[in-house]
């Protein structure tokens, strides 16, 4: 279902509000939310007094079909502070419209979330970033051929032309760098390029991405960032470099490799996420 035209945009807002009422009756209100990429589901198991809602039970919520994504909205407390965790995401390549892809972010904003932490698995374009390493996203390049804000704008959600100069919140990125240093975790910094997928990129496309300044490539995150900024959320995003991108190593790419690399990196990735969330949750960031 595509949300195009003013009536459909208004209908989308109505659907988000209906979903928010359903979720708010079941979960504690939280300042911070995390979207988990492949292999990071263990973080949700660390919540105290957990409440789980399968995506399928939330009104109008799109279904996740990708292996490694639990398809569950988790909430509870981490070190005494309420936290919402999105156990996976939906992707453009699954056949969803971008309006559906960003529906969860719209929902989180409607629930009162102010800070959004995004994670993903990405292919490494920068040869210095080995498989299993972590990259703090400083900026992005949208190569998906679409934008979730195309169509009539709802002023209640945000401005017609949202600024993207500071899409990734500087205060949150500094917290991430500080906590990584404290934990002795190498946290690279770079630019993430988003392709639509589901086919992995060709070697020529990776050469193009490198020339454009990309350090990593993936098939998610950018639409979520755009909409989060549109609605005034502060965003932090970290990629797990799951594999070297096409043409870098000469090896064939497959999704099992992505999942395996995510498992290997998950322990230090989760340690870093816990430290970051503890610092920022419930704290006003300038």
Q: What is the pLDDT of residue 40?
A: 83
Helix (H) / strand (E) containing 83? strand 81-87
Distance of CA 272 to the CA centre of its chain: 16
Q: Which of 19, 30, 38, 133 is catalytic?
A: 38
pLDDT of 215 higher than 80: yes
Q: Predicted confidence band at 4 (pLDDT cuts at 50, 70, 90)? A: very low
Tens of pLDDT along 56-68? 999 999 987 665 5
Residues whose CB falls within 8 Å of the CB of residue 82, separated by 6 or more in sequence, listed in order: 28, 29, 30, 31, 75, 76, 281
Across the range 165-178, mean pLDDT stands at 98
Contact between residue 166 and residue 188 where contact means Cβ atoms under 8 Å apart:
no
Indicate yes or no: pTM above 0.85.
yes
Q: What is the pLDDT of residue 3?
A: 45
Distances (CA, A) of 241 to 132, 216, 277: 5, 7, 21
Residue spans of the domains in the chain: they are 5-280
Q: Which of 131, 255, 257, 285 is catalytic?
A: 255
What average pLDDT is seen over the chain? 90
Considering only 59-73, 99-113, 177-191, which range has the smallest mean pLDDT?
59-73
Across the range 218-223, mean pLDDT stands at 97
* Beta bridge pairs of residue 191: 139
Tens of pLDDT along 240-264? 998 876 556 556 656 566 566 666 6
Residues whose CB falls within 8 Å of the CB of residue 199, separated by 6 or more in sequence, listed in order: none
Query: Is 49 a known active-site residue?
Result: no
Highest-confidence segment of 64-68, 96-100, 209-213, 267-271: 209-213
Q: Predicted confidence band at 2 (pLDDT cuts at 50, 70, 90)? A: very low
Query: Is 96 a known active-site residue?
Result: no
pLDDT of 101 higher than 70: yes
Considering only 3-7, 167-171, 233-237, which range has the smallest mean pLDDT?
3-7
Q: Which of 94, 164, 208, 285 is catalytic?
A: 94
Helix (H) / strand (E) containing 234? strand 234-244
- CATH number for region 5-280: 3.40.50.1580
Q: What is the pLDDT of residue 113?
A: 98
Q: What is the pLDDT of residue 253?
A: 58
Query: Is 249 a known active-site residue?
Result: no
Q: Which of 33, 64, 75, 91 is catalytic?
A: 91
Q: What is the pLDDT of residue 158?
A: 96
pLDDT of 5 higher than 50: no
């Amino acid at each position: 279902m595509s949300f195009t035209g003013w009536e459909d945009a208004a209908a989308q807002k109505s659907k988000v509000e209906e979903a928010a009422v359903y979720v708010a009756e079941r979960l504690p209100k939280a300042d911070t939310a995390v979207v988990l990429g492949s292999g990071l589901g263990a973080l949700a198991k660390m919540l105290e007094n957990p409440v789980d809602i399968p995506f399928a039970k939330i009104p109008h919520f799109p279904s996740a079909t990708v292996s490694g994504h639990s398809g569950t909205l988790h909430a509870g407390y981490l070190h005494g502070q309420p936290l919402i965790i999105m156990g996976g995401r939906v992707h453009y390549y699954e056949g969803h419209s971008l309006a559906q892809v960003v529906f969860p972010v719209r929902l989180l904003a409607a629930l009162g979330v102010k800070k959004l932490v995004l994670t993903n698995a990405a292919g490494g374009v920068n040869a210095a970033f080995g498989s299993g390493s972590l990259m703090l996203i400083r900026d992005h390049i949208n190569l998906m051929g679409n934008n979730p804000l195309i169509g009539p704008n709802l002023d209640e959600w945000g401005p017609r032309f949202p600024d993207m100069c500071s899409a990734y919140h500087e205060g949150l990125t500094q917290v991430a760098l500080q906590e990584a240093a404290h934990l002795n975790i190498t946290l690279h910094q770079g630019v993430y390029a988003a392709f639509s997928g589901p086919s992995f990129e060709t070697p020529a496309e990776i050469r193009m991405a490198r020339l454009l300044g990309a350090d990593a490539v993936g098939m998610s995150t950018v639409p979520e960032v755009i909409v989060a900024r549109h609605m005034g959320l502060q965003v932090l995003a970290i990629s797990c470099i799951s594999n070297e991108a096409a043409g870098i190593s000469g090896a064939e790419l497959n999704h099992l490799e992505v999942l395996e690399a995510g498992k290997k990196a998950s322990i230090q990735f989760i340690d870093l996420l816990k430290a970051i969330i503890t610092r920022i949750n419930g704290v006003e960031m300038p």
